[in-house]
């Protein structure tokens, strides 16, 4: 049995994903309105999410925030949602971190990221891939049972 | 306080079980509380206790159990008083 390393060419790779229920976002907007928006989304995100698919876009951004939280892989960290922002470069969504989460990303050695969003009628989803600096204090390859050549099972 | 927290969870938590009947240490995520539902729970708790959750307590563990929620709220209520 082998445990495959979470790195590519010596650089650690983190992946996070999440699915958000569009109706949940709709219900939160109905129940809490602007308070919900301001607690979770930045002004830029709120401005980006206008028009016919507003709720779907918000749901995709919420999924992106949760995907980023998973990529950090530190359950005891604080995660102010507004410190995770989805911006755009033309058609491409980009990830912007601020405040304590930007500091945490630096501490973890985050170098670059790629973000993908999607939605259907009922759900929205996000996947984030993060490339980090090479690990200095983590074991990168663990082999149990002396069968490394057989691949993961 | 726990009764109010359980009422908020029942209204906004969208859990698979009745939160009024779960152990105070039970893992609410295991019982169906989602990350998104925890936002609604937080906003409703702010209304119920006239508090605001600061960024530093916005972590998974805060909403992991009725006990944890109560501890955080007690601290916030004391800070306001």
pLDDT, one tens digit per residue, over B28-54 is 999 999 999 999 999 999 999 999 999
Which three-class secondary structure state does DSSP give residue B5?
helix
SS (H, E, C) chain A: CEECCCEECCEEEEEEEEEEEHHHHHHHHHHHHHHHHHHHCCHHHHHHCCCCCHHHHHHHHHHHHHHHHHHHCCCCCCCCHHHEEEEEECCEEEEEECHHHHHHHHHHCEEEEEEEEEECCCEEEEEEEEEECCCCCCCCCEECCCCHHHCCC
Phi/psi of residue A27, nearest 5 degrees: -65, -35
Q: Do B59 and A77 touch (CB under 8 A)?
A: yes
| pLDDT score recorded for residue A136 | 53
What residues in A contact B58, CB-CB < 8 Å? 78-81
Q: Is the pLDDT of residue B81 over 90?
A: no
Closest chain A residue by Cα to residue B35: A66
CA distance B65 to A149: 44
Q: Do A80 and B55 touch (CB under 8 A)?
A: yes
From A28, A77, A83, residue closest to B39, measured CB to CB: A28
| pLDDT score recorded for residue A144 | 43
Q: Which of B13, B32, B35 to mutate to test the interface with A (most CBs of A within 10 A)?
A: B35
Closest chain A residue by Cα to residue B14: A24
Average pLDDT over chain B reads 93
Report the predicted TM-score, pTM, of the whole model to 2 decimal places.
Answer: 0.86
DSSP category for residue B68: H
Residue pLDDT tens, chain A, 153 long:
888 777 777 788 999 999 999 999 999 999 999 999 999 999 999 999 998 899 999 999 999 999 999 999 998 889 999 999 999 988 899 999 999 999 999 999 999 999 999 999 999 999 999 999 886 554 444 344 333 333 332
What ipTM goes with this model? 0.89
Question: Chain A within 8 Å of B11 (Cβ-Cβ)?
Answer: no
What residues in A contact B42, CB-CB < 8 Å? 39
Contact A110/A132 with Cβ under 8 angstroms? yes
CA distance A50 to A48: 6
A vs B, Cβ pairs < 8 A, gives 53
| pLDDT score recorded for residue A135 | 66
From B40, B58, B61, residue closest to A28, measured CB to CB: B40
| pLDDT score recorded for residue A142 | 39
| pLDDT score recorded for residue A151 | 33
């Amino acid at each position: 049995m082998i445990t495959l390393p979470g790195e590519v060419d010596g650089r650690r790779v983190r992946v996070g994903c999440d699915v958000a229920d569009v109706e949940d976002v709709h219900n939160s907007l109905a129940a809490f309105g602007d308070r919900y928006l301001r607690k979770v989304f930045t002004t830029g995100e709120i401005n980006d999410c206008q028009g016919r698919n507003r709720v779907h876009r918000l749901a995709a951004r919420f999924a992106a925030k949760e995907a980023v939280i998973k990529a950090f892989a530190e359950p005891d960290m604080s995660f102010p949602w507004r410190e995770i922002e989805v911006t755009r470069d033309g058609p491409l969504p980009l990830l912007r971190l601020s405040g304590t989460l930007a500091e945490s990303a630096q501490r973890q050695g985050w170098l670059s990221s790629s973000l993908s969003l999607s939605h259907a009628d009922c759900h929205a989803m996000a996947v984030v891939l993060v490339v980090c600096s090479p690990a200095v204090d983590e074991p990168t390859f663990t082999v149990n049972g002396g069968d490394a050549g057989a691949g993961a099972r | 306080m726990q009764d109010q927290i359980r009422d908020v969870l029942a209204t906004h938590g969208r859990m698979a079980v009745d939160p009024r009947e779960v152990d105070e240490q039970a893992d609410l995520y295991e019982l169906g509380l989602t990350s998104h539902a925890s936002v609604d729970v937080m906003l409703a708790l702010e209304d119920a206790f006239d508090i605001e959750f600061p960024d530093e307590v916005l972590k998974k563990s805060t909403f992991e159990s009725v006990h944890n929620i109560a501890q955080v709220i007690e601290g916030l209520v004391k800070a306001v008083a």
